[in-house]
Copies of this chain bind each other. A is one copy, B any other.
Amino acid sequence: MGSRGGAADPDGLDLRRVLAEQGRFAAALTSEEALRTLDYDVAVEMTPLDIPGRGAAAISHVRAALERGKHVITCNKGPIAWAWRPLRDLARERGVSFLYETTVMDGAPVFNLAQRCLQGNTVLKIEGILNSTTNYVLSEMEKGASLAEAVKGAQRLGIAEADPADDLEGWDAAVKVSALANVLLDADLPPEAVERESLSAITPERVREALDRGCRLKVVCEAFGAGGNVIGRVRVREIPLTDPFALVVGTGSILRFTTDILGKIVLTEEDPDLSTTAYGVISDLFRLRGF
């Protein structure tokens, strides 16, 4: 419990006791040991994304549970960005579910929509605005703030991390592009292979020049192609004000699926909050139960 460590009781956890005795539980078992030895129905992987480590710890948690024939829900993008194919195959082999709705667009039904509502369609392309920090920063720069001032604002609002580099350099977005491309375009595309454009070269003047042309600068995630030929990109693009992508503000996000039969379907999440993210896990639990 706390921000690290684990708590386990074969008869189920008494939450009041857990909260009262955090310290005593903390070092009882490592996550890996818990996953490999305890009795459970589904493992929910909620560790934070580790980009330099290429998601290794989370991947190892997911693998430990799948190998034992346990269902897995991951909120960590790492496993599907860096190890999608082996983990998917392992889950199939063991006849269990491997779900990951929360990894992109909080709890909005991205993968559920594609897998349960677009059957028979081939997804040809995905485009999205999926990173709140850069979207907030660009909005503030439209109002005249410098990059540094806008980043500080994002930190004050709790959108950006203390070290905002993963957002500004496009890494968080690149990991999301990998996750989407691997699952929806049958790609095998690690985040390192996704072309990234940094926001650090963007000046307030550049932002205002776009506005003068009736456009907004937005960090757009893209992936298109299929299988071994998927291109993934995180680009700073000029979006005309007549495109719904230009209207995404704050912590909102948007994703356009271009498909061969149904054409273009756009999913937008407006003003999400923490319950939205939590719902992603709940919806995966529903799906496990066959709903």
Contact = CB atoms under 8 A, between A and B. Distances in A.
A79 to B, nearest CB: 22
A3 interface: no
The size class of the interface chain A forms with chain B is 35 or more
Contacts of A243: 247
B268 A263 contact: no
In the complex, which of the residues A109, A276, A286 has the most CB atoms of chain B within 10 Å of its own CB atom? A109
A157 interface: no
Given A262-B276, A267-B267, A109 B113 contact: yes
Contacts of A291: 116, 119
Q: How many of these chains are in the complex? A: 2
A263 B267 contact: no
Contacts of A244: 244, 247, 268
Tell me whether chain A's interface is mostly helix, strand or loop, or mixed. mixed
A270 B261 contact: no
Nearest to A260: B275
A264 B275 contact: no
A137 to B, nearest CB: 19
Shortest 6 CB-CB contacts between residues of A and residues of B: A109-B117, A266-B268, A264-B270, A112-B117, A119-B286, A244-B244
Interface of A: 107-109, 112-113, 116-121, 241-244, 247, 256, 261-273, 275-276, 279, 282-283, 286, 291
Given A244-B244, A263-B272, 11 more contacts: A108-B265, A116-B291, A120-B279, A120-B286, A256-B270, A261-B276, A261-B282, A262-B275, A263-B271, A263-B273, A266-B268
